Protein backbone atom coordinates (compact mmCIF):
# COMPACT_ATOMS: atom_id res chain seq x y z
CA UNK A 1 0.00 0.00 0.00
CA UNK A 2 1.31 3.43 -0.93
CA UNK A 3 4.75 2.09 -1.85
CA UNK A 4 5.60 4.97 -4.18
CA UNK A 5 4.51 7.54 -1.62
CA UNK A 6 6.51 5.86 1.15
CA UNK A 7 9.67 5.41 -0.90
CA UNK A 8 9.75 8.59 -2.97
CA UNK A 9 7.46 10.98 -1.10
CA UNK A 10 5.30 11.42 -4.20
CA UNK A 11 2.00 9.70 -4.95
CA UNK A 12 1.97 7.55 -8.05
CA UNK A 13 -0.98 7.95 -10.40
CA UNK A 14 -2.42 4.62 -9.32
CA UNK A 15 -2.13 5.46 -5.62
CA UNK A 16 -3.75 8.82 -6.34
CA UNK A 17 -6.83 7.48 -8.10
CA UNK A 18 -7.47 4.98 -5.28
CA UNK A 19 -7.77 7.66 -2.60
CA UNK A 20 -11.34 8.25 -1.38
CA UNK A 21 -10.87 12.01 -1.66
CA UNK A 22 -9.96 11.88 -5.36
CA UNK A 23 -12.95 11.84 -7.74
CA UNK A 24 -12.84 9.88 -10.98
CA UNK A 25 -11.78 11.57 -14.23
CA UNK A 26 -15.42 11.33 -15.33
CA UNK A 27 -16.51 13.52 -12.40
CA UNK A 28 -13.61 15.97 -12.84
CA UNK A 29 -14.64 16.46 -16.46
CA UNK A 30 -18.18 17.41 -15.38
CA UNK A 31 -17.22 20.57 -13.55
CA UNK A 32 -15.27 21.97 -10.63
CA UNK A 33 -14.74 19.43 -7.85
CA UNK A 34 -12.42 19.20 -4.89
CA UNK A 35 -9.56 16.74 -5.29
CA UNK A 36 -8.37 15.74 -1.82
CA UNK A 37 -4.96 14.11 -2.14
CA UNK A 38 -4.88 13.02 1.47
CA UNK A 39 -3.18 9.65 1.91
CA UNK A 40 -2.11 9.53 5.55
CA UNK A 41 -4.45 8.63 8.40
CA UNK A 42 -3.89 11.44 10.86
CA UNK A 43 -6.28 13.20 13.24
CA UNK A 44 -7.18 16.17 11.09
CA UNK A 45 -10.54 17.53 9.95
CA UNK A 46 -10.51 21.17 8.80
CA UNK A 47 -11.66 20.08 5.35
CA UNK A 48 -14.76 18.39 6.70
CA UNK A 49 -15.40 21.25 9.09
CA UNK A 50 -15.20 24.07 6.55
CA UNK A 51 -17.21 22.52 3.73
CA UNK A 52 -20.45 24.50 3.43
CA UNK A 53 -22.36 21.72 1.63
CA UNK A 54 -21.11 18.73 3.62
CA UNK A 55 -19.38 17.26 0.58
CA UNK A 56 -16.38 16.10 2.61
CA UNK A 57 -16.91 13.39 5.18
CA UNK A 58 -14.68 11.18 7.24
CA UNK A 59 -17.22 9.30 9.29
CA UNK A 60 -17.01 8.93 13.05
CA UNK A 61 -13.20 8.87 13.30
CA UNK A 62 -11.25 11.97 12.27
CA UNK A 63 -8.24 9.79 11.51
CA UNK A 64 -10.06 8.47 8.46
CA UNK A 65 -9.19 9.68 4.99
CA UNK A 66 -11.73 12.25 3.77
CA UNK A 67 -14.26 11.11 1.17
CA UNK A 68 -15.43 13.56 -1.47
CA UNK A 69 -19.05 13.65 -2.63
CA UNK A 70 -18.72 15.17 -6.10
CA UNK A 71 -22.45 15.77 -6.34
CA UNK A 72 -22.56 17.97 -3.23
CA UNK A 73 -19.25 19.71 -4.02
CA UNK A 74 -19.71 23.12 -5.63
CA UNK A 75 -16.00 23.77 -6.15
CA UNK A 76 -16.08 26.82 -3.86
CA UNK A 77 -12.48 26.29 -2.76
CA UNK A 78 -12.84 26.85 1.00
CA UNK A 79 -11.19 23.48 1.61
CA UNK A 80 -8.16 24.46 -0.51
CA UNK A 81 -7.22 27.09 2.03
CA UNK A 82 -8.35 25.09 5.06
CA UNK A 83 -6.13 22.04 4.54
CA UNK A 84 -2.96 22.45 6.62
CA UNK A 85 -1.20 19.84 4.48
CA UNK A 86 -1.87 21.81 1.28
CA UNK A 87 -3.33 18.59 -0.09
CA UNK A 88 -6.61 19.84 -1.53
CA UNK A 89 -7.13 21.29 -5.01
CA UNK A 90 -10.17 22.15 -7.09
CA UNK A 91 -10.03 20.87 -10.65
CA UNK A 92 -12.55 21.95 -13.28
CA UNK A 93 -12.25 19.63 -16.25
CA UNK A 94 -15.15 21.39 -17.97
CA UNK A 95 -13.63 24.90 -18.08
CA UNK A 96 -13.18 24.86 -21.86
CA UNK A 97 -12.95 22.14 -24.50
CA UNK A 98 -9.17 22.00 -24.35
CA UNK A 99 -8.29 23.47 -20.98
CA UNK A 100 -8.89 22.65 -17.35
CA UNK A 101 -8.99 25.23 -14.54
CA UNK A 102 -6.95 24.17 -11.50
CA UNK A 103 -7.01 25.98 -8.15
CA UNK A 104 -4.18 25.53 -5.67
CA UNK A 105 -3.14 26.96 -2.31
CA UNK A 106 -0.20 29.31 -2.92
CA UNK A 107 1.68 30.45 0.17
CA UNK A 108 4.62 32.30 -1.35
CA UNK A 109 5.40 35.92 -2.16
CA UNK A 110 5.38 37.58 -4.58
CA UNK A 111 2.00 36.54 -5.91
CA UNK A 112 1.61 36.24 -9.66
CA UNK A 113 -0.63 38.62 -11.58
CA UNK A 114 -3.80 37.63 -13.42
CA UNK A 115 -2.83 36.93 -17.01
CA UNK A 116 0.75 35.86 -16.22
CA UNK A 117 2.23 32.84 -17.97
CA UNK A 118 3.94 30.66 -15.38
CA UNK A 119 5.52 27.22 -15.30
CA UNK A 120 3.16 24.41 -14.28
CA UNK A 121 4.81 21.72 -12.12
CA UNK A 122 3.88 18.15 -11.25
CA UNK A 123 4.03 16.60 -7.78
CA UNK A 124 7.77 16.06 -8.16
CA UNK A 125 8.32 19.72 -8.95
CA UNK A 126 9.10 19.05 -12.61
CA UNK A 127 7.73 21.41 -15.24
CA UNK A 128 5.10 19.72 -17.40
CA UNK A 129 3.61 22.67 -19.29
CA UNK A 130 2.81 26.38 -19.00
CA UNK A 131 -0.14 27.78 -17.06
CA UNK A 132 -2.05 31.04 -17.40
CA UNK A 133 -3.17 32.73 -14.17
CA UNK A 134 -6.92 33.35 -14.24
CA UNK A 135 -7.83 34.27 -10.67
CA UNK A 136 -6.11 35.12 -7.40
CA UNK A 137 -8.24 34.97 -4.26
CA UNK A 138 -7.22 36.16 -0.79
CA UNK A 139 -10.27 36.31 1.44
CA UNK A 140 -10.64 36.52 5.20
CA UNK A 141 -12.06 32.99 5.19
CA UNK A 142 -8.91 31.76 3.47
CA UNK A 143 -6.91 33.09 6.45
CA UNK A 144 -3.70 34.29 4.78
CA UNK A 145 -3.52 31.41 2.30
CA UNK A 146 -3.99 32.68 -1.22
CA UNK A 147 -5.86 30.48 -3.71
CA UNK A 148 -4.51 30.79 -7.24
CA UNK A 149 -6.49 29.48 -10.23
CA UNK A 150 -4.90 28.84 -13.62
CA UNK A 151 -5.63 27.12 -16.93
CA UNK A 152 -3.59 24.25 -18.32
CA UNK A 153 -4.11 21.70 -21.12
CA UNK A 154 -6.93 19.42 -19.98
CA UNK A 155 -4.91 16.20 -20.18
CA UNK A 156 -2.55 17.53 -17.49
CA UNK A 157 -5.27 18.35 -14.99
CA UNK A 158 -4.45 15.47 -12.62
CA UNK A 159 -0.69 16.12 -12.85
CA UNK A 160 -0.21 19.84 -12.30
CA UNK A 161 -0.34 20.83 -8.66
CA UNK A 162 2.08 23.79 -8.34
CA UNK A 163 3.27 26.81 -10.29
CA UNK A 164 6.69 28.45 -10.52
CA UNK A 165 7.01 32.14 -11.28
CA UNK A 166 9.80 33.29 -13.61
CA UNK A 167 12.85 35.08 -12.25
CA UNK A 168 14.01 32.83 -9.44
CA UNK A 169 15.63 34.33 -6.34
CA UNK A 170 16.02 37.72 -8.01
CA UNK A 171 12.26 38.37 -7.94
CA UNK A 172 11.26 41.46 -6.03
CA UNK A 173 9.09 40.60 -3.04
CA UNK B 1 21.57 39.13 -3.01
CA UNK B 2 19.27 40.61 -0.42
CA UNK B 3 18.88 38.29 2.57
CA UNK B 4 16.21 40.12 4.54
CA UNK B 5 12.53 39.22 4.15
CA UNK B 6 10.78 42.42 3.02
CA UNK B 7 7.29 40.97 2.89
CA UNK B 8 5.88 37.79 4.48
CA UNK B 9 2.55 36.05 3.78
CA UNK B 10 1.70 35.87 7.50
CA UNK B 11 3.80 38.60 9.14
CA UNK B 12 3.08 41.26 6.52
CA UNK B 13 5.59 43.90 5.43
CA UNK B 14 8.79 44.93 7.21
CA UNK B 15 8.11 48.56 8.11
CA UNK B 16 11.25 49.10 10.22
CA UNK B 17 13.27 52.08 9.11
CA UNK B 18 15.86 53.23 11.65
CA UNK B 19 19.09 51.32 11.69
CA UNK B 20 22.01 51.45 14.13
CA UNK B 21 25.67 50.55 13.65
CA UNK B 22 27.38 47.60 15.23
CA UNK B 23 30.94 46.38 14.79
CA UNK B 24 31.91 42.86 13.78
CA UNK B 25 35.65 42.04 13.90
CA UNK B 26 36.30 45.72 13.37
CA UNK B 27 33.93 46.06 10.43
CA UNK B 28 30.88 48.31 10.86
CA UNK B 29 27.57 46.86 9.69
CA UNK B 30 23.99 48.16 9.86
CA UNK B 31 21.38 46.48 12.08
CA UNK B 32 17.90 47.13 13.43
CA UNK B 33 18.00 47.90 17.14
CA UNK B 34 16.36 45.07 19.08
CA UNK B 35 16.56 42.42 16.40
CA UNK B 36 18.40 39.13 17.09
CA UNK B 37 22.11 39.62 16.42
CA UNK B 38 22.16 36.60 14.12
CA UNK B 39 19.57 38.26 11.87
CA UNK B 40 21.76 41.33 11.43
CA UNK B 41 24.85 39.20 10.82
CA UNK B 42 23.04 37.08 8.22
CA UNK B 43 21.71 40.18 6.48
CA UNK B 44 25.31 41.36 6.10
CA UNK B 45 26.23 37.98 4.62
CA UNK B 46 28.28 36.99 7.70
CA UNK B 47 27.87 33.23 8.00
CA UNK B 48 30.93 32.20 10.04
CA UNK B 49 30.31 33.18 13.66
CA UNK B 50 32.98 31.22 15.53
CA UNK B 51 35.78 28.66 15.17
CA UNK B 52 35.84 25.36 17.03
CA UNK B 53 38.38 24.91 19.78
CA UNK B 54 40.19 21.81 18.51
CA UNK B 55 40.29 22.14 14.73
CA UNK B 56 39.37 25.81 14.23
CA UNK B 57 36.45 24.85 11.97
CA UNK B 58 33.86 27.49 11.07
CA UNK B 59 30.45 27.39 12.72
CA UNK B 60 27.31 29.48 12.35
CA UNK B 61 23.57 29.48 13.04
CA UNK B 62 22.15 26.00 13.61
CA UNK B 63 19.06 25.68 15.78
CA UNK B 64 18.30 29.42 15.70
CA UNK B 65 16.45 29.13 18.99
CA UNK B 66 19.07 29.38 21.70
CA UNK B 67 19.68 25.76 22.62
CA UNK B 68 22.58 24.50 20.52
CA UNK B 69 25.18 27.29 21.15
CA UNK B 70 26.67 26.91 17.65
CA UNK B 71 26.15 30.62 16.98
CA UNK B 72 27.98 32.00 20.03
CA UNK B 73 30.27 34.99 19.65
CA UNK B 74 32.20 37.29 21.95
CA UNK B 75 30.22 40.50 22.54
CA UNK B 76 31.70 43.57 24.24
CA UNK B 77 34.42 41.34 25.66
CA UNK B 78 32.08 38.64 27.01
CA UNK B 79 32.35 35.25 25.26
CA UNK B 80 29.69 32.58 24.56
CA UNK B 81 26.87 34.98 23.76
CA UNK B 82 24.13 33.19 21.77
CA UNK B 83 23.65 35.54 18.85
CA UNK B 84 20.36 33.92 17.77
CA UNK B 85 18.56 34.94 20.98
CA UNK B 86 20.53 38.02 22.01
CA UNK B 87 19.20 41.33 20.69
CA UNK B 88 21.19 44.04 18.97
CA UNK B 89 22.15 47.08 21.02
CA UNK B 90 23.73 50.02 19.26
CA UNK B 91 27.52 50.18 19.15
CA UNK B 92 27.87 46.51 20.13
CA UNK B 93 31.38 45.17 19.53
CA UNK B 94 31.16 41.61 18.23
CA UNK B 95 34.05 39.27 17.56
CA UNK B 96 34.31 35.87 15.90
CA UNK B 97 34.96 33.65 18.88
CA UNK B 98 37.96 31.30 18.80
CA UNK B 99 37.15 28.13 20.73
CA UNK B 100 35.74 28.74 24.18
CA UNK B 101 36.67 32.40 24.18
CA UNK B 102 38.49 34.38 26.81
CA UNK B 103 37.03 35.99 29.87
CA UNK B 104 38.46 39.26 31.04
CA UNK B 105 41.54 38.66 33.19
CA UNK B 106 40.77 38.77 36.90
CA UNK B 107 43.51 40.15 39.13
CA UNK B 108 45.38 37.27 40.74
CA UNK B 109 44.30 36.67 44.33
CA UNK B 110 47.08 36.80 46.88
CA UNK B 111 47.61 33.33 48.29
CA UNK B 112 47.77 32.98 51.99
CA UNK B 113 50.71 30.97 53.13
CA UNK B 114 50.15 28.91 56.21
User: What are A49-86's pLDDT values in tens digits?
Assistant: 999 999 999 999 999 999 999 999 999 999 999 999 99
DSSP for A74-141 reads: ----HHHHH-TT--EEEEETTSSSSEEEEEEEE--SSPP-TT-EEEEE-TTS-EEEEEEEEEEE--GG
- Whether B114 has a pLDDT exceeding 70, the answer reads no
Which of A107, A108, A109 is the best mutation test for B, with the most CBs of B within 10 A?
A109
Q: What percent of chain A has pLDDT over 90?
A: 92
Q: How far apart, in whole angstroms, are the C-alpha atoms of residue A155 and residue A112?
A: 24
Cis peptide bond upstream of A110, omega within 30: yes
Our CA-based measurement puts residue B33 at a distance from the nearest CA of chain A, in whole angstroms, of 23
Instruction: Using CA coordinates, name the residue in chain B closest to A111.
Output: B9
Mean pLDDT within B11-26: 95
- Whether B31 has a pLDDT exceeding 90, the answer reads yes
Contact A18/A38 with Cβ under 8 angstroms?
no
- The pLDDT value recorded for residue A1 is 80
Q: Tell me, yes or no, if A1 comes closer than 8 A to chain B by beta carbon.
A: no
Which residue has better confidence, B108 or A62?
A62
Amino acid sequence: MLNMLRSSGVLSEQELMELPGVPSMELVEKGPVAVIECAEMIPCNPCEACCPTGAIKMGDDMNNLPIIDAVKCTGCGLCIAACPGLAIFVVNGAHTKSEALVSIPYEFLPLPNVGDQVEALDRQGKKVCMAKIVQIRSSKKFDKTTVVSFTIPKEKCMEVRQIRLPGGMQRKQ
Amino acid sequence: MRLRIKSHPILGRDLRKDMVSIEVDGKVIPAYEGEPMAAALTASHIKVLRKTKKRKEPRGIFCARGICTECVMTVNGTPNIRTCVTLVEKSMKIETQEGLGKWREKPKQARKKI
